[in-house]
Amino acid sequence: MDHNNLTKVFKNAVSLYLLLISCLFILTGCSEKQVMLPFDISSSETAFTFETSNENNTVEPFAANLAVPDGDKEAGDELPSGSDSYGSAILVDTAGSNFLYSRNALAVLYPASMTKILTAIVALKNSSPDAVLTADESCVFTEGDVQKIGLKPGDSMTLDQALHLLLIYSANDVAQLIAVNIGGSTEGFADMMNEEAKRLGATNSHFVNPHGLQDENHYTTAYDMYLLFNEAIKSDEIEQIIGTVNYSTVFRHSDGSEASFSCDNTNRFLKGSAVAPMNINVVGGKTGTTLAAGGCLVMLSKDSGGNDYISCVMKGSTIDTTYDKTASMLSLIN
């Protein structure tokens, strides 16, 4: 190729390059974020460089550190119906990210007060422990069979106090107190709960209230409860609270007078009326019981080496069945 032709080719290439740059400028407009460099996965200077997780330049998947069920793993005699039956049960080794036991992990069931684990997650994510919460009319629960501390309009306490009463005593009126102060309403807080559940991968769940009182549109699975609980125990405050056996506090009425309240943890393993296998330390968890949900329990336990295990039993035909099944699963740990 002679000099004139080479010059002509070069000029055409430059013209094409300038045309491409002009098109990029027109498409991206005058916004602050402009594409200035072409994609190059090996360069740290391009606009599209991937953040990689290891030396092999692979993007870490969402479930990299989570256990994923691949079918039921049963041990011993299973009772699908009758007086000692349960709806679903799982035991997860969190360090190894694997299931030691699984039955109906993806069955959609009612969570009852296990709901309050998600309530606590959303509360701490969107407020601070020293924030003062004030009760309104919606926080007054008059039903005799509903767990409550008897809040009245104008009563106030900190979020830290509320979380203790929520997770230790399972107070439904305190759950409502948290919801209306942080979410503005029951519905507003439920939207926050559902958004957080989806973020954590709990896609087979839907929540309509902060306490878990029966509603057919309020449901989850044992696997989703594992995902939510696994997130909850990342909080030192939540892990400390769920392991507290007794709690006493003082909150204020609207007139400034004080009201005291003392309670015991609803978890039988912590109270000593249920016994875990030898060398297994039950840290704590969250109970839940309604007529429709049956007996429910999600829990954190540790082996003698300090390794974490999350268990969950849903829809136990009786409370005794729920605790017996939990203890039976914990016996599978080493």
- CA–CA gap between residue 289 and residue 41 (Å, rounded): 52
Active site residue 170: yes
- Summarised one tens digit per residue, pLDDT across range 235-269 is 999 999 999 999 999 999 999 999 999 999 999 99
Specify the amino acid at residue 29. Answer: G
Residues 316 and 169 placed together within one structural domain of the fold: yes
How would residue 334 be classed by pLDDT, with cut points 50, 70 and 90? confident
Residues 11 and 157 placed together within one structural domain of the fold: no
Which one of the listed residues 102, 116, 286, 301 is annotated catalytic? 116
- What's the CATH number where 319 sits? 3.40.710.10
Residues 36 and 154 placed together within one structural domain of the fold: no
8 Å CB contact between 149 and 171: yes
Q: Of the ranges 48-52, 92-96, 299-303, which is most confident?
A: 299-303
Which residues in 65-75 are b (16+ Cβ under 10 Å) and which e?
A: ebbebeeebee
Exposed/middle/buried for 140, CB within 10 Å: 0-12, 13-18, 19+? Answer: middle
Active site residue 116: yes
Residues 151 and 277 placed together within one structural domain of the fold: yes
User: Would 60 be classed as within a structural domain?
Assistant: no
Residues 125 and 241 placed together within one structural domain of the fold: yes
Task: Please give the residue range of the domain that contains residue 182.
Answer: 88-330
Which one of the listed residues 102, 113, 205, 311 is annotated catalytic? 113
Which one of the listed residues 88, 102, 156, 170 is annotated catalytic? 170
pLDDT of residue 317: 95
Q: Is the pTM of this model over 0.85?
A: no
Residues 17 and 147 placed together within one structural domain of the fold: no
8 Å CB contact between 209 and 186: yes
Average pLDDT, the chain: 85
For the ranges 66-70, 92-96, 113-117, 160-164, the lowest mean pLDDT is seen at 66-70
Residues 188 and 268 placed together within one structural domain of the fold: yes
Active site residue 235: no
- Summarised one tens digit per residue, pLDDT across range 3-26 is 555 455 455 655 555 555 555 444
Domain count, the chain: 2
